Amino acid sequence: MWPAPRHPRHPHRKGIPMEIPVDRPRTGDTLGGAPPGGASRPRVSHGGLSQGGLSHSGDERSLGSFASLRGRHLLDRLTPFEQWRRPHAEQGVWGYHQQTLSHPFTPRARTRDEFGDEGSGVNLLTQDYLALSSHPAVHEAITAALRDHGPHSGGSPAAAGDTPLAEELCGQLAELTGMRHVVLFPTGWAAGFGAVNALARRFDHIVVDELVHACVHEGVAAGRSTRITRTPHLDHGAVHRALRRIRAEDAANGILVITESLFSMNSDTPDLAALQRTCHEYDAVLLVDQAHDIGVLGPGGRGQAAGQGMHGRLDVVVGSMSKAFATNGGYLATNSSSVAAYVRYFASTHMFSSALTPLQTAGALAAARIMRSDEGQRLRDELLRNAGVLRRELARTASGPAPYTVLGVPSPIVPVEIDSLAVGRAAMGVARRDGVLLHLVEFPVVPRGRARYRLQLSSAHRPEDLALAARVIREAVASARADTTTRPEDSPVKRR
Ligand SMILES: Cc1ncc(COP(=O)(O)O)c(C=O)c1O
């Protein structure tokens, strides 16, 4: 059951992207260092784009394969990527860059792809965990901010870009995080990057869970330290061993240990108290990214940290407002006034980037107030009920095991792991056609050759829609899997 071709302007196109799952070392892959001449050429047939770039059996590439191209001409060497990508998009099996036509958040949404084709159905794409982007109080606050302060910040926080709303927002975030000092950033990405950027420098050591968000990995790279240890996901023992080794060799420089309180691709959580105890044994500092759980999980919405008795007791936290606060924005919070003061001047994404606009600040402020109210608790309860429904329905099968693995613990994220990227792509296209909108993530965000659906829940989803979505996903994956296992190599792909 493959998605039908949707582009009559290419009626001659045959086949859909097909990638064989392999888990090879990075040698020879363009990500790890390609041979001169760039990425291995896509299989461009005589049919050009009619087949050229479509990845048939034997093509194991994913987005990450094109991350680090080599070649003499900086621009010319990029062509193979689009030759490889575009046919996937034309076949409706490309998960990126859809436009949403139905904002603010609705449990059912409409999207449009780059060719203008529309999809509609149960919305598992949008991060709006408490559905606050459509809350009247948030809209009223934004309207009032437009009237009172205008739409524009006009400068970085260091250059008078903040209004008094920013101070009020910091107050709300201080309550939610339990920290005394809060520094705002234009996005959660900027907060993660800026925190690492300000705190860890060239001679310092960084110990980082391999699955932290890209903003942290970029911040680590920008700090120019070569003393980086990437530990296996949630492997406390590995962190301990790394700290012991580092301190045995270097008593003079700093160590920053970085993790997340709810991992966005796995929906799981470290033991924060134990991790911080281990850090302190070696004079290391723990930085925790709370992007996905602040306001959303834990007692009073104070996050997984509060659930573990660590509210206000972590060394440094960062977070994002784009998941639950109905707007873009990020923050760093700490109990140390010196740390906050330093970060204001030495986190480049705070110092040199325009402040949150008054509209964003007002929206986040209104959202934070709702989170801390009884209504916020009701919304969190509804969200967790929805997580339970979706997880239960995904596990329900008529016979045999489900054709995927649902990872992690109940949260706004339901990660569905599929052991074949080809199956994941094809099933995503079918699901879209059958009324379920979801986001597929591939290597390098998840292991090579695999696909993951990061299903995003909201308190506003209706349980019956989630049951329907689970059935569509289950059937789409099962039939895509059956097709890939029965289809002879390079034979035309069956469509319905
Ligand atoms: C853990 C984590 N940190 C930071 C970010 C970036 O947040 P923002 O979208 O606000 O830039 C994300 C976004 O997905 C995330 O998952």
Q: How far is it, in rounded angstroms, from Cα 80 to Cα 62?
A: 13
Are 158 and 343 within 8 A, CB to CB? no
Ligand 1 site-directed mutation target among 96, 260, 264, 297, most atoms within 8 Å of CB: 264
Q: How far is it, in rounded angstroms, from Cα 277 to Cα 272?
A: 9
The helix-helix angle for 188-199 and 337-346 (nearest 10°) equals 100
Both structure tokens of 494: 């069956």
- The rounded Å distance from CA 297 to ligand 1 centre is 16
- The rounded Å distance from CA 189 to ligand 1 centre is 5
For atom 7 of ligand 1, which residue has the closest CA? 188
Closest atom of ligand 1 relative to the 127 alpha carbon: 14
Q: How far is it, in rounded angstroms, from Cα 111 to Cα 134?
A: 18
- The rounded Å distance from CA 250 to ligand 1 centre is 32
Strands in 108-112's sheet, in edge-to-edge order, are: 99-100, 108-112, 118-123, 436-437
Instruction: Write down the residue that tokens 């903003």 correspond to.
Output: 215
One-letter amino acid of 219: G
Q: How far is it, in rounded angstroms, from Cα 96 to Cα 425?
A: 11
Task: Tell me where in the chain the CATH 3.90.1150.10 domain(s) lie.
Answer: 103-132+375-486
Per-10-residue mean pLDDT of the chain, 496 residues long, equals 40 33 28 30 27 47 86 91 89 83 86 87 95 97 98 94 96 98 98 96 95 94 90 97 98 98 96 98 98 98 98 98 97 98 96 97 98 98 98 87 93 96 93 94 87 96 97 94 60 29
How many residues are listed for the chain in this entry? 496
The number of beta carbons lying within 10 Å of the beta carbon of residue 369 is 18
Q: Which residues fall within 8 angstroms of residue 239, CB to CB, at 6 or more apart?
A: 207, 231, 257, 275, 278, 279
For the entire predicted model, the pTM comes to 0.86
Are 12 and 87 within 8 A, CB to CB? no
Are 218 and 193 within 8 A, CB to CB? yes
CATH of span 103-132+375-486: 3.90.1150.10
Closest atom of ligand 1 relative to the 191 alpha carbon: 4
Instruction: Write down the residue that tokens 């296209």 correspond to.
Output: 429
Are 387 and 414 within 8 A, CB to CB? yes
Q: How far is it, in rounded angstroms, from Cα 176 to Cα 410?
A: 21
Both structure tokens of 231: 């530990």
- The rounded Å distance from CA 191 to ligand 1 centre is 9
Give, as one character, the DSSP assignment of residue 5. Answer: P
Comparing CA positions, the residue from 11, 130, 204 lying closest to residue 379 is 130
Fold of 135-372: Aspartate Aminotransferase; domain 2 (3.40.640)
Question: Within 6 Å (CB) of ligand 1, which residues are found?
Answer: 187-189, 192, 213, 215, 260, 264, 289, 291, 320, 322, 328, 330
Q: How far is it, in rounded angstroms, from Cα 436 to Cα 450?
A: 20
For atom 10 of ligand 1, which residue has the closest CA? 188
Q: What per-residue confidence (pLDDT) applies to 59?
A: 66
Q: How far is it, in rounded angstroms, from Cα 179 to Cα 310?
A: 11
Task: Tell me where in the chain the CATH 3.40.640.10 domain(s) lie.
Answer: 135-372
Q: Which residues fall within 8 angstroms of residue 236, CB to CB, at 6 or more apart?
A: 270, 271, 274, 275, 278
